[in-house]
Amino acid sequence: LPSDRNQPIHIYSDRLERDEKTAVTTYIGNVKLDQGSLHITADKLVIYQANGDLSKIQAIGKPAHLQQLPEVGQQIVYAQGEVIDYFSDKDLLILTKNASITQDGTLVKSERIEYLISEEIIKAKGSAEATSGDDRVHVVIPPSQTNNKAHSAPEKTPEQPSPSQPPLSDEE
Amino acid sequence: MSRRSRQVQQQLALVATVVAITIATFYLLSSRKVQELTTADTITSPEWYISKADFLSYGPDGIIRSKGLASEAIHHDYNQQTTIESPKLTSFLLGTPYRTAVAQHGTINSKKVILLTKDVVLTQFPSKQDRVLTLTTQSLLIDTKNNTADTSAPVTIRQGSGKTDAIGLHADLDLNFLSLLSGVHTVYAP
């Protein structure tokens, strides 16, 4: 949710390591992060700070999972990848390695996915060497969505005569 | 008297003498007056006692390295320990205060290991752009030789907008690296 960024971030883990010199904090073991509707679970979570503020959060897992509700009334977005990078200042999510993102049945799978959360833009990229198979971008749009477009025309409308065909009478 | 029986007699005499000496020593030691003096001597009269202690230490380059204040410092010879009340210890980096540790009580042993107890607050002052870091716990073992700090007690660390609670800590004060050992929960305020 847009209001997520105004919520406190809660992080739970088994252990923590903090390097004061580099201002990097690493949470290790059963890591859970909650911020409003944003939830991340991972084996490891690395927090990078610049001038004391969070600049980047990196979740690492087999895979790491993330979910967030983009807007009230919309469906939750579920994302996963072996590495999830979250840049809070740009509201940008980068999923790498067995990455996938799904919302309301629509699925995008590939080696690398960039998701601009506030603009709801997804960029997916297969691995450089991929010519076929799993390493390419793979998108699934569920039938329910494709059919809706077909059914959206009103039922009673007579078939539009194509320019070459004479108009059909009602009895036929 | 045959040679054999004379040997037996000599051995018996030897045993009797050993027993007699043992009894005498035990009797001497156990007499209240002597025992009382020995223990009384080590407990009630410390080697030295300082009130409002203020001690400084300098490096070979003459720059101040650490400063210690205590309302009381009492040193006992028998265990080579100094107990300090309301200690405030400050370590300096290039002449400027870098870390302070305060507590209600503390002890310093002969190996220069300091155990701080009760309302321990360790504060690290900002370097570069980071903000002040404060660590609070109920006991903290600071090894001034290896420059490490350890506790198995619950700790709370505050820095900038973050507050972390955990149980158990190991900190390498030279490397500026700390590990929290279990039950970690951090809250970053927005």
Judgement on whether residues B129 and B166 belong to the same structural domain of the protein? yes
- Tally of domains within chain B: 2
Q: Please give the residue that has the higher pLDDT: either B7 or B87.
A: B87
Judgement on whether residues B89 and B175 belong to the same structural domain of the protein? yes
Nearest CA in chain B to A11: B186
Distance, CA of A124 to CA of A45 (rounded, Å): 23
Distance, CA of A116 to CA of A85 (rounded, Å): 12
Rounded mean pLDDT of chain B?
A: 84
- Is B131 in Cβ contact with A53 (below 8 Å)? no
Instruction: Say yes or no to pLDDT of B22 above 70.
Output: no
Distance, CA of B89 to CA of B108 (rounded, Å): 12
- Is B164 in Cβ contact with A10 (below 8 Å)? no
Residue B100: both structure tokens together: 């302070």
Residue B38 has a pLDDT of 46
Residue B95: both structure tokens together: 């002449």
Distance, CA of B11 to CA of A107 (rounded, Å): 99
- B30 pLDDT band (50/70/90 cuts)? low
What CATH number does residue B76 fall under?
A: 2.60.450.10
pLDDT digits (tens, 9 = 90+) for B53-68: 898 989 888 888 889 9
Judgement on whether residues B59 and B75 belong to the same structural domain of the protein? yes
Judgement on whether residues B8 and B94 belong to the same structural domain of the protein? no
Instruction: Say yes or no to pLDDT of B1 above 90.
Output: no
Average pLDDT for B35-47? 54
CB A17 within 8 A of CB A31: no
For B53-112, the DSSP string reads EEEEEE-TTS-EEEEEEEEEEEEETTTTEEEEES-EEEEEETTEEEEEEE-SEEEE-TT-
Phi, psi of A112 (to 5 degrees): -145, 130
Distance, CA of B73 to CA of B84 (rounded, Å): 4
Residue B94 has a pLDDT of 79
Judgement on whether residues B2 and B69 belong to the same structural domain of the protein? no
- Is B133 in Cβ contact with A23 (below 8 Å)? no
Judgement on whether residues B91 and B108 belong to the same structural domain of the protein? yes
- Is A15 in Cβ contact with B159 (below 8 Å)? no
Judgement on whether residues B9 and B82 belong to the same structural domain of the protein? no
The alpha-carbon gap from B56 to the nearest alpha carbon of chain A, in Å, equals 27
CB pairs under 8 A between A and B: 75
Phi, psi of B28 (to 5 degrees): -65, -50
Judgement on whether residues B91 and B107 belong to the same structural domain of the protein? yes
**Regions of chain A with pLDDT less than 50:** 152-172
Name the residue among A8, A16, A50 with its Cβ closest to that of B189. A8
Q: Which residues of A touch B160 (CB under 8 A)?
A: 49, 52-53
What are the C-alpha distances in Å from B90 to residues A103, A154, B55, B66? 55, 81, 11, 6
Instruction: Say yes or no to pLDDT of B190 above 90.
Output: no
3-class SS letters over chain A: CHHHHHCCEEEEECEEEEECCCCEEEEEEEEEEEECCEEEEEEEEEEEEECCEEEEEEEEEEEEEEEECCCCCCCCEEEEEEEEEEECCCCEEEEEEEEEEEECCEEEEEEEEEEECCCCEEEEECCCCCCCHHHCCEEECCHHHHHHHHHCCCCCCCCCCCCCCCCCCCCC
- Is A23 in Cβ contact with B185 (below 8 Å)? no
CB A35 within 8 A of CB A57: no
- B103, B156, B114: which is closest to B133 by C-alpha? B156
Instruction: Say yes or no to pLDDT of B168 above 50.
Output: yes
pLDDT digits (tens, 9 = 90+) for B90-139: 988 877 778 999 999 999 999 989 999 999 999 988 665 457 889 999 99
Judgement on whether residues B90 and B23 belong to the same structural domain of the protein? no
Specify the 3-state DSSP secondary structure of B9.
helix
Q: Is the dihedral of CA A142, A143, A149, A154 positive or negative?
A: negative
What are the C-alpha distances in Å from B170 to residues A23, B38, B43, B105, B120? 17, 40, 34, 21, 15
Of the given ranges (A28-32, B37-41, B125-129, B161-165), which has the lowest mean pLDDT? B37-41
Residue A70 has a pLDDT of 84
Query: CA gyration radius for chain A?
Result: 22
Which of B30, B45, B60 is the C-terminal boundary of a domain?
A: B45
- Is A6 in Cβ contact with B130 (below 8 Å)? no
Identify the H or E element spanning B42.
helix B32-44
Residue B29 has a pLDDT of 52
Instruction: Say yes or no to pLDDT of B183 above 90.
Output: yes
Residue A172 has a pLDDT of 37
**Phi-psi category of residue B93: left, alpha or beta, with phi > 0 → left and psi -120 to 50 → alpha:** beta
Q: Which residues of B touch A52 (CB under 8 A)?
A: 129-131, 159-161
- B41 pLDDT band (50/70/90 cuts)? very low
- Is B179 in Cβ contact with A16 (below 8 Å)? yes
- Is B159 in Cβ contact with A17 (below 8 Å)? no
Q: Which residues of A touch B186 (CB under 8 A)?
A: 9-12, 16, 25, 27
Instruction: Say yes or no to pLDDT of B44 above 90.
Output: no
Residue A27: both structure tokens together: 């949470």
Nearest CA in chain B to A54: B188
Instruction: Say yes or no to pLDDT of B143 above 80.
Output: yes
Judgement on whether residues B81 and B154 belong to the same structural domain of the protein? yes
Maximum pairwise Cα distance, chain B: 105
Nearest CA in chain B to A26: B179
Q: Model-level pTM?
A: 0.75
Judgement on whether residues B61 and B105 belong to the same structural domain of the protein? yes
Q: Which residues of B touch A14 (CB under 8 A)?
A: 182-184
- B122, B80, B157: which is closest to A18 by C-alpha? B157
- A42, β-bridge pairs: A31
For B:125-154, CB contacts with A below 8 A are: 127, 129-131, 133
User: ipTM strictly over 0.90?
Assistant: no
Q: From the CB of residue A84, how many other CB atoms can be counted at a distance below 10 Å?
A: 27
Best of A20, A25, A47 to disrupt the B interface (most B CBs within 10 Å) is A20
DSSP B45: S
Judgement on whether residues B2 and B94 belong to the same structural domain of the protein? no
Tell me the residue range of the domain where B35 lies.
1-45
